[in-house]
Amino acid sequence: MRALVQRVTEAEVTVAGRSTGRIGAGLLVLVCAMQGDDAAQADRLAGRIARLRIFSDDAGRMNRSVLDTGGAVLVVSQFTLAADTRTGNRPGFSTAAPPDVGEALYLRFAAALRDQGLPVATGEFGADMRVALVNDGPVTIWMDTTDRA
């Protein structure tokens, strides 16, 4: 699985003008299931993100996790993280998991974050979403559960 993790002071996702998820301080996680991914990878990625130390401690060093800060997580599915841009001008998305698998792993990932004790809001899988955020730092981290060519 792939994820783009952004430290935010607030974030919200809307679908057709209605809010489906909103958080204050915490993490916005754009997530994509790739072909061959499974539930174990969703769980592993959720654990890594929950413990990712990218929040400042009292000395101003990135030494605290979203768990440590009591923050929340907004999880948004984004299959375009699977984009292959190695050739041509149009990205290919054939390495993304099929929609039924992608949705199941997206839901599993969000549930695994909740199991860590985090408040989790979500977007709507497969929908045309609008995501608004205030990136804090900015801090943006790319994560992948496997090394891919």
Question: What φ, ψ does residue 104 adopt, rounded to 5°?
Answer: -60, -40
In the prediction, which pLDDT does 22 show?
98
Domains identified in the chain, total number? 1
**DSSP per-residue string spanning the chain:** -EEEEEEEEEEEEEETTEEEEEESSEEEEEEE-BTT--HHHHHHHHHHHHH---EE-TTSSEEE-HHHHT-EEEEEE-GGGG-B-SSSSS-B-TTBPPHHHHHHHHHHHHHHHHHTT--EEE--TTS-EEEEEEEEEEEEEEEESS---
User: Residue 50: inside a domain, yes or no?
Assistant: yes
In the prediction, which pLDDT does 147 show?
61
User: Residue 111: inside a domain, yes or no?
Assistant: yes
Which CATH number covers residue 110? 3.50.80.10
User: Residue 66: inside a domain, yes or no?
Assistant: yes
User: Residue 88: inside a domain, yes or no?
Assistant: yes
pLDDT at 148 over 60: no
Dihedral, CA of residue 59, residue 63, residue 69 and residue 73, to nearest 10: 140
pLDDT at 86 over 50: yes
Average pLDDT over residues 9-30: 98
Instruction: Cite the active site residues.
Output: 78-80
Average pLDDT over residues 137-145: 95
User: Residue 6: inside a domain, yes or no?
Assistant: yes
User: Residue 38: inside a domain, yes or no?
Assistant: yes
In the prediction, which pLDDT does 149 show?
45
The reported pTM is 0.95
Per residue in 38-61, pLDDT (tens digit) is 999 999 999 999 999 999 999 999
d(CA 93, CA 81): 9
User: Residue 149: inside a domain, yes or no?
Assistant: no
User: Residue 112: inside a domain, yes or no?
Assistant: yes
Per residue in 63-74, pLDDT (tens digit) is 999 999 999 999
Domain range for residue 38? 2-142
